[in-house]
């Protein structure tokens, strides 16, 4: 009798616990710039998250997923720290997802690590960022990862003498070094490296310098958006293409705004990146469909949206594997850091040692595809470490 | 400034409203314990605004590059802490001293011009420091920021915690102490001289006061206080980013100070509190379009309260007393 | 080498022209009307959006969109001047700063709402792109076009302010409102028209600038420094000053970037500080 009673009590207790779980949603705190000069990034990441929820429902293992969004306003470390702290302490989130720059990712990371809540890095792209965030896992990319293969490709395809042009700050210098590394280790020579000021509305003088130096090709990376558009425009405006100086550029600089502004001129441009909307898999089609639904077809997704989408996929997986019980932050982190799955960009693997993403990098060419210009992948470099 | 008011020389006596004002943070600590980090950041920005008030509200120097000194203080404290010098108070002091030195050098370029010129020279100095910090990434960490700051316990007892309790009391204490010093200075003969500069820059030399020297001194002090604020932010965030030097920060600071009201010591504190609470609240409601409402707030304040919130309140009180005496 | 130098000079003049075009409207409101209108960039961005919308949605050719941008922003300026700005003519410069920044915040949010945060695409007509070969130099067509526009705008403005009755009324009203009103000048109308002119020029500059500066809602804040730079160095209110300042800054900036890219970012700011320390009232500013 006693046994039965305790058994009954146990059943009731378990049922009650499940009930509490079911009532309490799983909370994801999303930090990204919704306003200010980087609002576009925020919109793309936000839509990536929404697309995943749209495609996979808002309930996992009986628990509802609730995303709480916060505006970082741009690279603002103390705002990142404050928002992360408020999300952890006040809103009691189970996961933090940061789609911003390195500073606020790092400061949110100290909060996440102190509170033992996993943090998903879905945009910051400086090397080794997860070293500094014990509870951080990266699902996006690093600049080194996507640039080095492009340098190697250029050297293997008969280009010998190149110049580089990058923005004069951390990520730009990362790109310059990684490209140089890939290019020179395959027999190429960098004749000159030009760095442009961080806030530069005018690329004329720099492009002119390149034109006067007459290398075989020019590698470019500047922050995407107005700068990228501007530098590519200046390249054509100054007739470098006609002077026989090829443009080799990172893929994040060549997307919708460039296609809209320059059209057929950019046909044939070769770029590298880890995601293209033209990636021919079912997983990508599913993503594109969901993304179009949540945005009303107003914008095209980018690699940023995909990273956010994959971050959500990882969260869903971690919830599912623990049957909705996230009490142990370390265990959740362990699951997140050991994942591998098919993403819209291709297969991604998280290296459990570094908690950083290992993925394929694609060499692509701008071509007409699906009735518009797209970056069509023609060469795959698999399993590139960050 | 209307005629019927009796003028009295400003003296250092504490008013009731001031005492109530300084008791508020204690209430906040217990009532809004979920918002401690926001509150401590308001104290820090308030301190920063106080430093701008010194040079703008009292010496009449318009600055759009005040973040330069904030950033210098922040990087000083940050570099100390990331190279093993984690003691907070000395870091704070050194941050203030280095910023004051930079401010002293800069002051010779700044105090010469008129409003727009001062505005642009300070802006130029700020932008150049920003570029320099970006270029010197091997020291500052560049755009990725300066991380790895290990802070010691405050006074060897209180360790910075996740809930921001220590950061809260630490920031409040620093703000209060610096405020006391500034308040004392402002009500001293030197401070009265500053007021004189503000209201009659052409007449001050006539009574034998050197405008130039006073402006240099006050600019240096203002820079030092900004440096302390920067160091405080660096220590409580345990991170320094390039944004600490940015134009954006200078401009936002100016907005907060003018919103609160210049030349009143409390204007910066009130402005910082209103702006940051409003921003936090509005951004939580709608992360995308909150700027619209904050813009509207600014426009309305200007429309209905010349001289910022405190200016508006003072005008209101004056009208009341006038009506009462009628 | 000499060809190099001439090319750099040309680029500098072209860049200076652009700086002039985006700054001259502010010089008008700030110098002629003594109003610190930091919402200038918002008017410029509106001009840009008018151009882009007219081109991409309605199919209006680029050149035809420019006067449309001018008129649309000028009208907007008049409306805002009558309803809001005119109440603040007597306010302190700091109140004006706060007010115009507030307006800019609202404009930025509004533009994000209507056009989204993305870069707006603009495709120039073929005849304005590419380069022409002139006197042994490759010159950008659009840059030449900008320089030509600057010549026209400057000539028109100088004529308007120095030679016409309206210009005299503006100068009189700014110097002494009461006396001017007493002489039968409709000061309100003069101010409204001047403000419209300033806003219209901002809109024109915005439209002409998209190709180089890009256009997204953060435009007003992103380029605020550049507007102020040109006006402060030139001396507010002086058309000649604004032009000279823009050209000097443009040439030195481009030359610095070409010949010394390591310090390219500093040149424009350092030059500004030096010029302002030497000429505290701006190159052609009124002495206080």
Q: What is the DSSP string of A157-189?
A: TT--EEEEEEESSHHHHHHHHHHHHHHHTTT-E
Q: Give C67's contacts (C-beta < 8 A, 6+ positions apart).
A: none
Higher per-residue pLDDT: C7 or A65: A65
Residue with tokens 């420091």: B129
Nearest residue of C to residue B65, measured between CA atoms = C225
Higher per-residue pLDDT: C35 or A139: A139
In a domain? residue C98: yes
In a domain? residue C253: no
Give the count of Cβ contacts less than 8 A between chain A and C.
106
Domain residue limits at C43: 2-224
Which tokens is A349 given? 């693997």
pLDDT in tens, B271-294: 999 999 999 899 888 888 888 999
In a domain? residue C134: yes
Q: How far is A237 from chain C (nearest CA, A)?
A: 5
Q: Which chains touch B (3 or more CB pairs under 8 A)?
A: A, C
Q: How confident is the model at residue A258 (pLDDT cuts 50, 70, 90)?
A: confident
Please report the pLDDT score of residue C2 as a whole number.
66
Nearest residue of B to residue A92, measured between CA atoms = B34
Is A358 exposed, middle or buried (CB count within 10 Å of its CB: 0-12, 13-18, 19+)? middle
User: How far does Cα A294 stand from its chain's mean position?
Assistant: 19
Q: How far is C103 from chain B (nearest CA, A)?
A: 6
A358 within 8 A of A350, measured Cβ to Cβ: yes
Name the DSSP class of C159. Answer: I
Which tokens is B223 given? 């820079």
Residue A75 has its nearest CB partner, among B34, B147, B241, at B241
Please report the pLDDT score of residue A366 as a whole number.
93
Please report the pLDDT score of residue A82 as a whole number.
93
Phi, psi of B203, rounded to the nearest 5 degrees? -90, -25
Q: Do A126 and B164 touch (CB under 8 A)?
A: no
pLDDT in tens, B207-221: 777 778 888 999 999
Strand partners, A29: A68, A96
Q: Give B149's contacts (C-beta < 8 A, 6+ positions apart).
A: B78, B81, B82, B86, B234, B235, B238, B239, B240
Contacts of B133 in chain A (CB under 8 A): none
Give the count of Cβ contacts less than 8 A between chain B and C.
123
Residue C114 in this model has a pLDDT that exceeds 70: yes
* Neighbouring C-alpha atoms within 13 Å toward the C-beta of C145: 19
Q: How far is C156 from chain A (nearest CA, A)?
A: 27
Q: How many helices (H) and strands (E) does chain C have?
A: 12, 2
Q: Taking the CB of residue C63, how many other CB atoms lie within 10 A of it?
A: 12
pLDDT in tens, C42-84: 999 999 999 999 998 898 999 999 999 999 999 999 999 999 9
pLDDT in tens, A282-309: 999 999 999 999 999 888 899 999 999 9
Nearest residue of A to residue C109, measured between CA atoms = A35
CA distance C186 to A337: 73
Strand partners, A376: A365
Residue A315's H or E segment, with its range, is: helix A303-321
Residue C95 has its nearest CB partner, among B254, B297, B302, at B302
Please report the pLDDT score of residue A226 as a whole number.
82
CA distance A71 to A32: 6
CA distance A43 to C271: 38
pLDDT in tens, A127-174: 889 999 999 999 999 999 999 999 999 999 999 999 999 998 888 999
Domains in chain C, number: 1
Residue B190's H or E segment, with its range, is: helix B189-199
Which tokens is A38 given? 């980087």
CA distance A359 to A347: 7
CA distance B191 to B200: 14
CA distance A222 to A203: 11
In a domain? residue C63: yes
Please report the pLDDT score of residue A4 as a whole number.
57
Please report the pLDDT score of residue C286 as a whole number.
60
CA distance B219 to A355: 48
Mean pLDDT of C198-216: 91
Of the candidates C96, C5, C44, C20, the one whose C-alpha atom is nearest the C-alpha of residue C200 is C44
Q: Do A37 and C4 touch (CB under 8 A)?
A: no
Q: Give C76's contacts (C-beta < 8 A, 6+ positions apart).
A: C43, C46, C199, C203
pLDDT in tens, A329-384: 899 999 999 999 999 999 999 999 999 999 999 999 999 988 888 999 999 999 99
Which tokens is B176 given? 């209060």
Which tokens is A53 given? 């929820």
Contacts of B249 in chain A (CB under 8 A): none
pLDDT in tens, B221-276: 999 999 999 999 999 999 999 999 998 899 899 999 999 988 889 999 999 999 99
Q: Do B238 and A107 touch (CB under 8 A)?
A: yes
Q: Which chains touch C (3 or more CB pairs under 8 A)?
A: A, B
Q: Do C15 and A202 touch (CB under 8 A)?
A: yes
A175 within 8 A of A166, measured Cβ to Cβ: yes
pLDDT in tens, A107-119: 999 999 999 999 9
Residue B153 in this model has a pLDDT that exceeds 90: no
Higher per-residue pLDDT: A225 or A268: A268
C217 within 8 A of C42, measured Cβ to Cβ: no
Please report the pLDDT score of residue A5 as a whole number.
58
Q: What distances in angstroms separate CA A276 from CA A254, A366, B95, one per listed residue?
A: 11, 11, 47
Nearest residue of B to residue C106, measured between CA atoms = B292
Phi, psi of B146, rounded to the nearest 5 degrees? -100, 110
CA distance B141 to A170: 8
In chain B, what are the domain boundaries? 32-286
Assign 3-state DSSP to chain B and report helix, strand, coil percentages, each to 5.
75, 0, 25
Phi, psi of A69, rounded to the nearest 5 degrees? -100, 140
Contacts of B127 in chain C (CB under 8 A): 225, 269
Report the SS3 class of residue A69.
Answer: strand
Q: How confident is the model at residue C288 (pLDDT cuts 50, 70, 90)?
A: very low
Please report the pLDDT score of residue A8 as a whole number.
55
CA distance C242 to C40: 15
Residue A295's H or E segment, with its range, is: helix A282-295
In a domain? residue C165: yes
Q: How confident is the model at residue C287 (pLDDT cuts 50, 70, 90)?
A: very low
Q: How confident is the model at residue B4 (pLDDT cuts 50, 70, 90)?
A: very low
Mutate to test the interface with A, among B48, B129, B140, B147 (most CBs of A within 10 A): B147
Q: Do B299 and C103 touch (CB under 8 A)?
A: yes
Using only C-alpha atoms, what is the Rg of chain A? 23
Strand partners, C131: C140
The pLDDT > 70 percentage for chain B reads: 96
Residue A90 in this model has a pLDDT that exceeds 80: yes
Of the candidates A225, A253, A257, the one whose C-alpha atom is nearest the C-alpha of residue A165 is A253
**Does the complex come out with an ipTM higher than 0.90?**
no
A92 within 8 A of A27, measured Cβ to Cβ: yes
Of the candidates C158, C163, C141, the one whose C-alpha atom is nearest the C-alpha of residue C242 is C158
Chain C contact for A372 (CB, 8 A cutoff): no
pLDDT in tens, B97-117: 999 999 999 998 888 777 778
Is A241 exposed, middle or buried (CB count within 10 Å of its CB: 0-12, 13-18, 19+)? middle
Q: How confident is the model at residue C213 (pLDDT cuts 50, 70, 90)?
A: confident
Residue B41 has its nearest CB partner, among A74, A78, A111, at A78
Please report the pLDDT score of residue B1 as a whole number.
42
CA distance C15 to C28: 20
Q: Do B237 and A171 touch (CB under 8 A)?
A: no
A128 within 8 A of A104, measured Cβ to Cβ: no
Chain B contact for A200 (CB, 8 A cutoff): no
Lowest mean pLDDT: which of A376-380, B63-67, B120-124, B154-158? B154-158
Q: Do A75 and B243 touch (CB under 8 A)?
A: yes
Task: Answer whether CATH 1.10.3470 is correct for domain B32-286.
Answer: yes
CA distance B194 to B188: 10
Question: Domains in chain A, start-ordered, CATH in brackets?
Answer: 2-141+280-354 (3.40.50.2300), 144-273+363-384 (3.40.50.2300)
Q: Do A239 and C264 touch (CB under 8 A)?
A: no
Q: Give C148's contacts (C-beta < 8 A, 6+ positions apart).
A: none
Which tokens is A310 given? 């994959």
Please report the pLDDT score of residue B3 as a whole number.
43
Q: What distances in angstroms separate CA B182 from CA A153, B17, B173, B256, one per listed residue?
A: 63, 18, 14, 19
Mean pLDDT of C105-116: 93
Which tokens is A215 given? 């290398």
A70 within 8 A of B284, measured Cβ to Cβ: yes
CA distance C269 to A255: 33
Q: How confident is the model at residue B53 (pLDDT cuts 50, 70, 90)?
A: very high
CA distance A337 to C286: 66
Q: Taking the CB of residue A49, how many other CB atoms lie within 10 A of it?
A: 25
Q: Give C272's contacts (C-beta < 8 A, 6+ positions apart).
A: B120, B121, B124, C229, C232, C233, C249
In a domain? residue C258: no
Q: What is the DSSP string of B66-81?
A: THHHHHHHHHHHHHHH
Mean pLDDT of A181-205: 88
Residue B142 in this model has a pLDDT that exceeds 80: yes
Pairing, β A217-221 against β A246-250: parallel
**What's the pTM?**
0.89
pLDDT in tens, B161-179: 888 889 999 999 999 999 9
B contact set with C (CB within 8 A) = 62, 109, 112-117, 119-121, 123-125, 127-128, 131-132, 135, 247-248, 251, 254-255, 258-259, 262, 288-292, 294-299, 301-303, 306-308
Please report the pLDDT score of residue A23 as a whole number.
65
Please report the pLDDT score of residue A32 as a whole number.
95
Using only C-alpha atoms, what is the Rg of chain C? 19
Mean pLDDT value across chain B: 87
pLDDT in tens, C156-194: 999 998 889 988 888 888 788 888 888 888 888 888 999
Mutate to test the interface with B, among C224, C233, C277, C285 (most CBs of B within 10 A): C277
Q: What distances in angstroms separate CA B176 from CA A305, B256, C92, one per listed residue?
A: 46, 19, 30
């Amino acid at each position: 009798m006693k046994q039965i009673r305790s058994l009954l009590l146990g059943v009731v207790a378990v049922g009650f616990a499940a009930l509490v779980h079911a009532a309490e949603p799983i909370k994801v705190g999303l930090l990204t710039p919704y306003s200010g000069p980087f609002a576009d990034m925020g919109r793309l990441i936000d839509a990536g998250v929404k697309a995943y929820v749209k495609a996979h429902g808002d309930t996992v293992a009986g628990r509802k997923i609730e995303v709480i969004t916060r505006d970082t306003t741009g690279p603002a470390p103390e705002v990142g720290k404050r928002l992360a702290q408020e999300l952890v302490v006040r809103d009691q989130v189970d996961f933090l997802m940061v789609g911003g720059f390195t500073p606020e990712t790092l400061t949110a990371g100290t909060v996440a690590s102190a509170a033992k809540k996993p943090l998903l890095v879905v945009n910051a792209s400086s090397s080794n960022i997860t070293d500094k965030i014990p509870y951080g896992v990266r699902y996006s990319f690093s600049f080194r990862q996507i640039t080095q293969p492009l340098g190697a490709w250029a050297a293997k395809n008969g280009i010998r003498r190149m110049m580089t042009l990058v923005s004069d700050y951390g990520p730009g210098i990362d790109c310059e070094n990684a490209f140089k590394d890939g290019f020179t280790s395959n027999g190429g020579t960098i004749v000159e490296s030009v760095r442009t000021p961080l806030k530069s509305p005018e690329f004329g003088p720099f492009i002119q310098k390149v034109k006067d130096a007459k290398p075989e090709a020019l590698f470019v990376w500047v922050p995407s958006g107005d700068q990228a558009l501007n530098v590519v425009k200046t390249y054509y405006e100054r007739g470098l293409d006609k002077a026989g100086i090829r443009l080799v550029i990172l893929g994040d600089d060549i997307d919708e705004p460039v296609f809209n502004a320059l059209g057929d001129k950019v046909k044939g441009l070769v770029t590298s990146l880890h995601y293209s909307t033209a990636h021919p898999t079912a997983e990508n089609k599913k993503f594109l469909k969901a993304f179009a639904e949540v945005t009303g077809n107003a914008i095209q997704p980018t690699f940023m949206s995909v990273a956010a989408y994959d971050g959500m996929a990882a969260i869903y997986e971690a919830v599912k594997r623990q049957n909705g019980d996230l009490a142990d932050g370390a265990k959740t982190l362990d699951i997140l850091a050991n994942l591998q799955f098919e993403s819209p960009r291709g297969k991604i693997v998280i290296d459990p040692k570094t908690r950083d993403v290992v993925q394929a990098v694609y060499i692509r060419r701008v071509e007409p595809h699906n009735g518009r210009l797209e970056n069509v992948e023609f060469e795959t470099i698999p399993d590139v470490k960050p | 400034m209307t005629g019927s008011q009796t003028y009295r020389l400003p003296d250092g006596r504490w008013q009731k409203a001031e005492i109530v004002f300084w008791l508020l943070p204690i209430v906040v600590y217990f009532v809004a314990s979920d918002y401690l980090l926001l509150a401590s950041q308001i104290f820090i920005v308030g301190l920063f605004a106080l430093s701008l008030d010194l040079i703008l509200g009292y010496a009449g120097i318009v600055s759009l590059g005040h973040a330069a000194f904030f950033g210098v203080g922040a990087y000083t404290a940050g570099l100390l802490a990331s190279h093993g010098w984690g003691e907070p108070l000395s870091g704070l002091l050194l941050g203030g001293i280095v910023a004051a030195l930079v401010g002293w050098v800069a002051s010779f370029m700044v105090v010469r011009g008129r409003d727009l010129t001062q505005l642009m020279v300070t802006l130029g100095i700020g932008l150049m420091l920003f570029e320099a910090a970006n270029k010197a990434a091997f020291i500052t960490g560049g755009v990725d920021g300066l991380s790895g700051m290990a802070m010691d316990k405050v006074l060897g007892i209180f360790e910075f915690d996740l809930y921001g309790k220590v950061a809260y009391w630490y920031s409040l204490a620093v703000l209060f102490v610096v405020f006391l010093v500034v308040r004392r200075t402002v009500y001293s003969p030197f401070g009265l001289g500053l007021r004189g500069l503000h209201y009659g820059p052409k007449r001050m030399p006539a009574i034998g006061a050197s405008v130039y020297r006073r402006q240099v001194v006050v600019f240096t002090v203002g820079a030092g206080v900004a440096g302390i604020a920067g160091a405080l932010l660096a220590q409580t965030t345990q991170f320094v980013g390039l944004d600490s030097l940015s134009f954006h920060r200078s401009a936002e600071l100016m907005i907060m100070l003018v919103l609160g009201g210049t030349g009143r010591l409390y204007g910066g504190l009130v402005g910082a509190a209103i702006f940051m609470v409003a921003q936090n609240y509005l951004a939580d409601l709608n992360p995308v379009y909150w700027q619209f409402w904050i813009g509207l707030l600014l426009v309305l304040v200007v429309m209905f309260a010349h001289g910022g919130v405190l200016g508006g309140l003072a005008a209101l009180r004056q009208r009341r007393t006038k009506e009462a005496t009628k | 080498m000499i060809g190099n130098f001439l090319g750099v000079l040309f680029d500098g003049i072209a860049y200076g022209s652009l700086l002039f075009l985006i700054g001259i409207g502010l010089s008008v409101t700030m110098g002629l009307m003594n109003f610190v209108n930091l919402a200038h960039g918002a008017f410029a961005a509106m001009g840009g959006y008018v151009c882009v919308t007219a081109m991409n949605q309605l199919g209006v050719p680029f050149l035809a969109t420019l006067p449309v941008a001018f008129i649309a922003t000028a009208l907007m300026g008049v409306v805002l001047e009558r309803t809001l700005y005119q109440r603040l003519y007597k306010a302190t410069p700091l109140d004006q700063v706060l007010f115009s920044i507030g307006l800019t915040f609202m404009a930025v949010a509004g533009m994000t709402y209507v056009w989204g945060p993305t870069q707006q695409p603009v495709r120039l007509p073929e005849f304005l792109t590419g380069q022409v070969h002139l006197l042994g130099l490759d010159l950008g067509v659009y840059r030449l076009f900008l320089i030509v526009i600057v010549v026209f705008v400057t000539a028109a403005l100088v004529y308007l302010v120095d030679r016409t009755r309206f210009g005299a009324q503006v100068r009189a009203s700014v110097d002494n409102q009461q006396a001017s009103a007493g002489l039968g000048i409709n000061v309100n109308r003069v101010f409204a028209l001047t403000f419209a002119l300033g806003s219209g020029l901002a809109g024109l500059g915005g439209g002409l600038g998209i190709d180089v500066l890009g256009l997204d809602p953060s435009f007003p804040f992103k380029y605020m420094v550049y507007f102020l730079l040109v006006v402060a160095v030139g001396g507010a209110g002086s058309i000649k000053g604004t032009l000279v300042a823009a050209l000097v800054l443009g040439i030195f900036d481009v030359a610095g970037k070409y010949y010394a890219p390591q310090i390219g970012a500093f040149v424009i700011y350092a030059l500004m500080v030096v010029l302002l320390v030497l000429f505290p009232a701006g190159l052609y500013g009124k002495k206080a």
